[in-house]
Amino acid sequence: MLAKQVLHFRELLFQEGILFCYSGYMTEEILSSIGNTLKQKMALDKTDKNIARGVFTLFVEQVQNVIRYSSEVEPIERGDGQADVELRYGLLTIGQKEGRHFVSCANMIARQDVERLRGNLTKIQSMDREQLKAFYKEVLRGATPEGSKGAGVGFVDIARQATHGFQFDFHDVNEEYAYFCLKAFI
Amino acid sequence: METIHVEATERTPEIHFDFARNHFAIRGESYPEDVAEFYGPKVRSLAAHVGQLQGASIEFHFELIYFNSSSAKVLIGLFDLLDEAAEKNQVEIQWHYEADDANMEELGEEFGEDVSHATFRMVAKD
């Protein structure tokens, strides 16, 4: 029964073309390990160098978004006078379907941030390559606006690398939180 | 100022800042856990040194395999710093990239567009 259940889960993932799936607390160590394995897998598959770089970029920027900004946080009190560590929860999937590679990340965000984020992403999504380039440089040079928590350069980088675009969506979970998902394609 | 030399790691590039010769280089992968912690002190030393130079010949080599968006913020700051220094000094920036790496080539060209005083050279490696 157990194996059958898990096999069913695996089949659901495979139907979606998912090769990597991680749901849990995201840390820099997780980023390093999955990142290295992702590179190995793409090297084995002889993935085109520029595509592999793009997929890796989508992966790094999305995972770092979760590590820094997911609202689902588990504080760890170190109690040794050092800054407390926080673990942030997210769901990552990487895969390939219908000839396109994709990287998707999802995490909780505060509902009050939804409209700002939706506005930023809609704006970036509507830009062509030249506009994205100009905006990328503008954001790189500007100081990160307080509270925006960098909802700038990482997303612009994702938009630039995602040769087949990206989708995003929000879903209210309760009064305080909404679930945010972004899926980018190459 | 003493030469700063830091070996590359999986996620951070080799840094070689030779202040005596005004030869500087950043080589490798750049997606540090904490960009400010990794680059902050080194870039501050560089800015302090370059800021007081006049009539010097400065060479800066960028030889990056991959850099994330937080590292890109540091890079653009370095280009602006070097371009400003080029008003009083001779500054050559070299952007090295693998010949088949269209992405790194394009990024180099984009950064190079904004450099007006320093010499910006694209160097393809086979």
**Nearest CA of chain A to the CA of B1: how many Å?**
28
Please report the pLDDT score of residue A73 as a whole number: 80
Q: How confident is the model at residue B40 (pLDDT cuts 50, 70, 90)?
A: very high
Kindly report, residue by residue over A52-99, the tens digit of the pLDDT: 999 999 999 999 988 888 888 877 766 666 666 778 899 999 999 999
Residue A146 has pLDDT above 60, yes or no: no
In sequence order, the β-bridge partners of residue A142 are none
Classify strands B90-98 and B57-67 as parallel, antiparallel or unpaired: parallel
In contact, B108 and B95? CB cutoff 8 Å = yes
Classify strands A100-110 and A73-76 as parallel, antiparallel or unpaired: unpaired
Kindly report, residue by residue over B89-110, the tens digit of the pLDDT: 999 999 999 999 999 999 999 9
Kindly report, residue by residue over A31-40, the tens digit of the pLDDT: 999 999 999 9
| pLDDT mean across residues, chain B | 95
Residue A149 has pLDDT above 60, yes or no: no
In contact, A106 and A183? CB cutoff 8 Å = no
Please report the pLDDT score of residue B96 as a whole number: 98
Which domains are seen in chain B, by residue range?
4-125 (3.30.750)
In contact, A105 and A91? CB cutoff 8 Å = yes
Q: What is the DSSP string of A60-111?
A: HHHHHHHHHH-S-EEEE---SSSPPEEEEEEEEEEEEETTEEEEEEEEEEEG
In contact, A158 and A182? CB cutoff 8 Å = yes
Kindly report, residue by residue over B43-65, the tens digit of the pLDDT: 999 999 999 999 999 999 999 99
Kindly report, residue by residue over B3-24, the tens digit of the pLDDT: 999 999 999 999 999 999 999 9
Please report the pLDDT score of residue B86 as a whole number: 96
Please report the pLDDT score of residue A144 as a whole number: 55
Please report the pLDDT score of residue A84 as a whole number: 63
Please report the pLDDT score of residue A75 as a whole number: 74
Whole-number Å distance between alpha carbons of A159 and A143:
20
Average pLDDT value for residue range B82-92: 96
- Roughly how many angstroms between the first and final C-alpha of chain A, as a whole number? 38
Residue A151 has pLDDT above 50, yes or no: no
From B33, B69, B76, residue closest to A154, measured CB to CB: B69
- Judging contacts by C-beta atoms under 8 Å, the chain A residues touching residue B68 are 57, 60-61, 64, 157
Which residue's entry shows tokens 């675009």? A165
A156 at interface of B, judged by CB pairs closer than 8 A = yes
Percent of chain A scored above 70 by pLDDT?
89
Which domains are seen in chain A, by residue range?
19-75+86-185 (3.30.565.10)
A64 at interface of B, judged by CB pairs closer than 8 A = yes
Count the Cβ atoms, other than its own, within 10 Å of residue B97. Answer: 22
Count the Cβ atoms, other than its own, within 10 Å of residue A178. Answer: 20
Interface contacts (A, B; CB < 8 Å): 44
Pull the structure tokens for residue B76.
Answer: 């653009």
Please report the pLDDT score of residue A87 as a whole number: 85
Please report the pLDDT score of residue A147 as a whole number: 47
Give the CB-side neighbour count of residue A183, counting CA atoms within 13 A: 14
Whole-number Å distance between alpha carbons of A33 and A24:
14
Collapsing DSSP states into helix, strand and coil, what is residue B46?
helix
- Roughly how many angstroms between the first and final C-alpha of chain B, as a whole number? 35
ipTM: 0.91
What are the E-state strand segments in chain B?
4-6, 14-18, 23-30, 57-67, 90-98, 119-125
Residue B68 has pLDDT above 60, yes or no: yes
**Nearest CA of chain B to the CA of A98: how many Å?**
24
Residue B26 has pLDDT above 90, yes or no: yes
- Residues A32, B80: C-beta atoms closer than 8 Å: no
- Residues B31, A154: C-beta atoms closer than 8 Å: no
Q: How confident is the model at residue A41 (pLDDT cuts 50, 70, 90)?
A: very high
Phi/psi for B54 (5° steps) reads -145, 130
Whole-number Å distance between alpha carbons of B126 and B120:
20
Residue A132 has pLDDT above 50, yes or no: yes
